[in-house]
Amino acid sequence: MLPNTGKLAGCTVFITGASRGIGKAIALKAAKDGANIVIAAKTTQAHPKLPGTIYTAAEEIEAAGGKALPCIVDVRDEQQISNAVEKAVEKFGGIDVLVNNASAISLTNTLETPTKRVDLMMSVNTRGTYLTSKACIPHLKKSKIAHILNLSPPLNLNPLWFKQHCAYTIAKYGMSMCVLGMAEEFKGEIAVNALWPKTGAGTQLKEEQQPPSKPPSGAVKETFKIVKASLNEDLVKATQAVYQFELSGEDGGTWFLDLKNKGGNAGYGEPSDQADVVMNMSTDDFVKMFSGKLKPTMAFMSGKLKIKGNMALAIKLEKLMTQMQAKL
């Protein structure tokens, strides 16, 4: 096998929450360059609904061309962070890049967010990012390419980003403030930046600049027709939820998506079982959402989509939409 000669070849990248999702995707991309990856995450046993552990991630990283060091790390535990940093330095000789990806989320309003969940988000997002950075900085200072990258949003103080999920925004903005403060504190020694998936302010601005357009006549009905044709028993078994949509505008009214009973069902009217999730939005935004032109997370954060009920099942629907969009 030819040696990897990518930009990160031979560099050591310490990534929190790298057992799945964006963290693992970053790890695999760096591994293809030939980087050493420290997988600092707490998942040691596969979750039935969320596949991936630090060990399976390590196997994938090695297969992609990198070297892996799986470390059991809950970023709320300062000692676990310190132990992982020590192991990384011992195995690879230093740390060149830190990616603060570990994060807890609850897109719930003030009265619906339990104190335990508030504490979790503050401890993992803000405090965890701060402590992991603090532990890595002495080693990053010795690197010629020292970088800290936080997965956090631009600091936008528009109340829009606070009103639906105040605690979550505070916790994520804490990560962004770490970028702001540490970039200035370690200027000339360590580059400190943030990366945020494309559901932020820029996307909203683009949407707001476009003139509002009404969906074609029967667009909602046609969307549900396609959705219904996509249903199967495996999908129902994997989802186990009933969704109700209260839509305003042309073709509006009450619509449902039953992914709990038999082979599933979808159409106009109320579901036969009580809905686990009720979503309120305009028909225009509904059609955009199911066709991939408007991300559900973005719609929720900007107030275009209001959700009542089980938030975990609402997030499941977002993944389901991604699968369906090829047919829409």
Catalytic residues: 168
Q: Is 32 helix (H, G, I), strand (E, B) or coil?
A: helix
Helices (H) and strands (E) in the chain, counts: 13, 11
Residues 157, 173: Cα–Cα separation, whole Å: 10
* Residue 24 phi, psi (nearest 5): -70, -35
Pick from 95, 178, 185: which is nearest to 130 by CA? 178
Place of tokens 């078994």: 237
CA distances from 223 to 218, 262, 264, 268, 281 (A): 9, 21, 16, 11, 15
How far apart (Å, rounded) are the C-alpha atoms in residues 172 and 81?
A: 20
> What gap in Å lies between CA 291 and CA 322, rounded to an integer?
9
What are the structure tokens assigned to 37, written together? 């990856």
Query: How many residues make up the chain in this entry?
Result: 328
Q: How far apart are CA 254 and CA 241, in angstroms?
A: 17
Q: How far is CA 284 from CA 113, 270, 287, 291, 294, in A?
A: 30, 20, 5, 11, 10
